[in-house]
Structure formats: C-alpha cells, structure tokens
Amino acid sequence: MVDIGAGAATVAVALQEALGNARQRRIEYVAFDPNLMMRALGERILGHVAKGFRSARYVPTLDDLDPNDGHRMLFAFSYVAHQDAVTTDHLEQWVSVIKEAVDAADRAVELIYTTAANLSGDKFPELGAMLKRAGITPKTKPVRVKVQRRYPSMDGSDGRVGWDWQDRNWQVQAEHWVLRS
Ligand SMILES: C[S@@+](CC[C@H](N)C(=O)[O-])C[C@H]1O[C@@H](n2cnc3c(N)ncnc32)[C@H](O)[C@@H]1O
C-alpha cells in the first residue's frame, strides 16, 4: 500500500483498527508526505503500529518507490484531493508513479481516495483525465462510507480519553479505481 499525502500515517492506524492480524501482516505500508513535521509525527506513530505490518516506513520522495514492490499495489489518497498545495506538477508526478506501477505489473493496480464531500477543488477528476491521456483508463466504483461524528472527551479523573458521539455523520466522498493500461 502506498499512502500519498499520508500526514501522520492515519491510514496505517485505520488499517490496524479495521483488519485482523493475519490480513494486516500481509501489508507493506509505504507512506509519503512532503511536510516534514507530519512525517516526523507519522514516524513516531509508525513506531507504535509498524510491528503489525509486514513492513511500514516513510519514503522521503516518490522517486524512492519501487514499482515492482508487492504482489498487488493499492495507492491511498486520504483527504489529499482538495489540498491547495496540490499542483498540476504533483498530479503529473502521481500519474508517472502510478503508470510505472501499472506498466511494471502483471496485476491490477488499485487506488482509493477519500475526501470531504461537497467541497469544490477536488483534483481527482483531473487526475483521472491525465491517467486516460497516459493510456490508463480507471474503472471507478463509488464507495459508500458512513462515519458517525465523534470528538475526544476526557472520561473521569484518570485522564483517559473517550468519545463524545454526535448524531450527524461526516460527509465523506470515496472512490475505488482499478487501473490497467
Ligand atoms: C488533510 S491531511 C490528510 C492526512 C492523512 N492522509 C489523513 O487522512 O489523515 C493532507 C496531507 O496532504 C499533504 N500534502 C499536501 N500537498 C501534497 C502533495 N502535493 N503531495 C502529497 N501530499 C501532500 C499534507 O502535507 C498533509 O499531510
């Protein structure tokens, strides 16, 4: 799994929460984030969750990805699609690493993206068009996500953190793309 715009490795934490030990153990988690502070935080978080994965690490640049890594490859973009800091140059770089992975592989390369619904400035339609121009037609499937809002709350006097659950759900938009040339 290649987590682009990984921030503090939240996708790794979510995988640990969602998967059983056996499935998590099969995953090589590779994170990239250009923000050095987020990366430093994420590396500390990986210090707690890495042992559940086959391997887990940050790469300093996208050039450090190995397109032949792994049996299947899933790119994750979690809450990166609307970032103002994402430019056309970045999209071109993403297309290039995704294309390398698709060309290297005799297997499906997949992509999943999640973002806040109903915001303008989603860059993924443009990414899809750029992939098509590069000879890769994404087969896209919407993903239905229902996440109830919750906020941390202090429970009692022992300082433990609990959750304050809200009635509303987060407005999440998510898609799963299967990529072949
Ligand atoms: C809202 S955070 C999401 C972090 C994490 N993926 C999550 O879901 O919690 C957006 C992240 O995108 C990163 N980012 C911004 N521009 C980027 C780019 N061009 N390429 C990769 N990551 C980028 C930021 O540094 C930030 O960590």
Would you tell me how many other CB atoms lie within 10 Å of the CB of residue 74?
A: 15
Is residue 157's pLDDT more than 70?
A: no
The pLDDT value given to residue 38: 97
The pLDDT value given to residue 71: 79
The pLDDT value given to residue 76: 97
Going by C-alpha positions, the residue among 44, 50, 38 that lies closest to residue 7 is: 38
Q: What is the mean pLDDT of the chain?
A: 92
- Are 102 and 180 spatial neighbours (Cβ–Cβ below 8 Å)? yes
Q: How far is the centre of ligand 1, averaged over its atoms, from the C-alpha of 153 (Å)?
A: 26
CATH architecture for segment(s) 2-179: 3-Layer(aba) Sandwich (3.40)
Q: How far apart are CA 98 and CA 74, in angstroms?
A: 10
Using a 6 Å CB cutoff, which residues line ligand 1? 4-7, 10, 33-35, 38, 78-80, 83, 85-86, 90
Q: How far apart are CA 3 and CA 15, in angstroms?
A: 12
Query: Can you tell me the mean pLDDT for 2-27?
Result: 95
Q: How far is the centre of ligand 1, averaged over its atoms, from the C-alpha of 80 (Å)?
A: 5
The pLDDT value given to residue 41: 98
- Per-residue pLDDT reduced to its tens digit, 85-101: 999 999 999 999 999 99
Residue 90 Cα: closest atom of ligand 1: 19
The DSSP string of 81-128 is TT-TT--HHHHHHHHHHHHHHHHH-SS-EEEEEEEETT-S---HHHHH
Which residue has the least CA distance to atom 22 on ligand 1? 5
